[in-house]
Amino acid sequence: MSASLATAQSLLLAPANLSLDQLSATLGGLSKRGVEFADLYFEHHKSESWSLEEGIVKSGSFSIESGVGVRAITGEQTAFAYSGDIGLASITEAANTVAAIGRAGQSASVAVNGKTVHPALYTAADPLASISDDAKIALLREAERIARARDPRVTQVMVNLACEHVVMLVMRTDGVIAADVRPLCRLNVSAIVESNGKREQGRSGGGGRYGFEHFDSEFITKRAHEAVDMAILNLDARPAPAGVMPVVCGPGWPGVLLHEAIGHGLEGDFNRKGSSAFTGRIGERVAAPGVTVLDDGTLKDRRGSLTVDDEGTPTHATVLIEDGILKGYMQDTMNARLMGVAPTGNGRRESYAHLPMPRMTNTYMLGGQHDPQEIIASVENGIYAVNFGGGQVDITSGKFVFTMDEAWKIENGKLMYPIKGATLIGNGPDALTRVTMIGNDMALDEGIGVCGKEGQSVPVGIGQPTLRIEGLTVGGTA
C-alpha cells in the first residue's frame, strides 16, 4: 500500500469507520442499477492565509473541510451528488441519488485494486504545521522590511502568505483506487511607490508544491525587489502606442497568453462538443514550424503538477502541438471515452463538491534556437511584453485581450522606454501561425497561476521562451 493511500485511509475513512470493502459494495450497487461508470471522490482540505499591510497583520484565516462526491455516468449524461459528511449513510444516500440515470441489465462486478503506486512528485508533509504562527508572521514582516529598504519612494507594502494541504482518495467502478497528498504554498508581495504626485504599483509572487522551508531569504528578497522595481519602472512609463506591430513576449509568465489563447481550446470537452477553434484539426498545421506545446503534470514540485489527477489517472507529459502540427487534446475519463481516446490525466476539480472536467496542469512551449537579445534586435518598431496581467478569451473564436503589467517600446532593435496602459488583442490560433522567432530561454513561471473554468478554480503552471509574434494589435493610451 502506498504512503498516500495509507494517509488517505487514516484521515478520510478511519474516522467514519469506513472500509474499502464497504465502498466497493456501494460502487457495486451503482453498477447493478445500470450506470456505465461511477466514482467516489473523498477529500480533506486544510488551508490558511495571512495578510500584512501597513506593518500590521490585517487578516488571517484557517479552515478545514472534508467531504465526498459521488458521480455516475451513462453515455453523455452525468449525475452528481456530494456531502460534507463522510459517513456510510450519506454516501449511500448520494449513490442512490445519482443512480437514477442508470439503465438496468449491466454488470455489477466491481473489483477494487489498491496496490498501484505512483511515484510522488512532491512532499507529503503538511506545510501548515511545519513552522509556528510566529515564524509565519516574521516571514511577512521580513518581506515588508526588504521591500521598504529597496527604495525610499515605497509608501505601502502588502504581503500575503497562503498555503494548503489536501488529501484525496478516489475509487472507481473500473477497479481503480488512487490517493494523493498535496501541499501548496505561495508568497505574494505588492508595493506602492509615490514620486512627484504619481503613484504606481508593482507585484511579484511565487510558490509551488512544497513547504515554507523553500521561502528562504533569497526567495523573499527576490519577490520583494521585483514588486518594488516594477512599481518604480511604471513611474517613468509613457503611454502605450496603438496599432498593428510585432510583439516580443518574454519568457516564463507571459506563457499566460499561451494558456488562455490556445490552452483552453485544446481541452477535450470543448473539442468533443465542437465549440473549439481546434475541433477536428488533429494532424493539421495549426502553428508556425518550431512551435511545440506540452501540458505536463509530472514536473516535480510545480504548482500545476499532480501525482494523479482528480479521477485517479496518473498525469502525463502530453504533446498538444509538435512542430506546428496539432497532435491531441487534454482529456479526462468521460471525454476520452466518448472520443475513443486514452485519458491524459487532466481530469481536475476544485473540490469534492465539484464535477471533474478536462483542465490544464503545467502548459508550456519548448524553446528554440534564437538568443533573446537577437530577437529584440530584429524588431525595428514594436513592443516587448515582459509581464502580463489579466486577460479574456473566447474559446469558440479564439479571440483574446490581455493587459500588460510591464512592457517596453522597441525602436531600431533596442528597448527605449517602458510603457503602460498597453493591451494585446488577437486570435489564439492565428497568433500561433505568426510566431517567427523562438528563443532558447524557455522558462516556467514562478508558481502563481490560477485557472478558472465554469466557475471552478485550480492551480496551474505556465511557461514559454522569448517569442517574436508578427502583426498583433496593440491597444494603447497614446
CA separation for the pair 436, 203 (Å, rounded): 30
pLDDT score of 34: 78
The phi and psi torsions of 349 (rounded to 5 degrees) equal -140, 155
CB 165 within 8 A of CB 4: no
Residue among 295, 228, 300, 289 at smallest CA distance from 432? 289
Instruction: Express each pLDDT in 260-273 by its tens digit.
Output: 888 999 999 999 99
Return the residue matching grid coordinates 522595481: 229
Residue among 298, 244, 173, 249 at smallest CA distance from 474? 244
pLDDT score of 101: 61
Return the residue matching grid coordinates 447493478: 32
Paired residues of 199 in beta bridges: 194
CA separation for the pair 229, 231 (Å, rounded): 5
User: Which residues, 6+ apart, have CB-to-CB distance to 307 below 8 Å?
Assistant: 4, 118, 119, 120, 121, 122, 180, 182, 314, 315
Q: Is 95 exposed, middle or buried (0-12, 13-18, 19+ CB in 10 A)?
A: buried
CB 98 within 8 A of CB 74: no
**Stated pTM of the model:** 0.93
CA separation for the pair 276, 12 (Å, rounded): 39
CA torsion angle 274 37 347 315 (round to 10): -120
CA separation for the pair 178, 285 (Å, rounded): 37
Low pLDDT (below 70) residues in the chain? 1, 101-117, 478
User: Which residues, 6+ apart, have CB-to-CB distance to 251 below 8 Å?
Assistant: 372, 439, 441, 442, 443, 463, 464, 465, 466
CA separation for the pair 364, 258 (Å, rounded): 7
Q: Alpha helices, DSSP H only, in 9-87?
A: 20-32
User: Which residues, 6+ apart, have CB-to-CB distance to 30 below 8 Å?
Assistant: 38, 72, 95, 98, 99, 102, 173
Reduced to 3 DSSP states, what percent helix, strand and coil does the chain have, rounded to the nearest 5?
25, 40, 35
Return the residue matching grid coordinates 493511500: 5
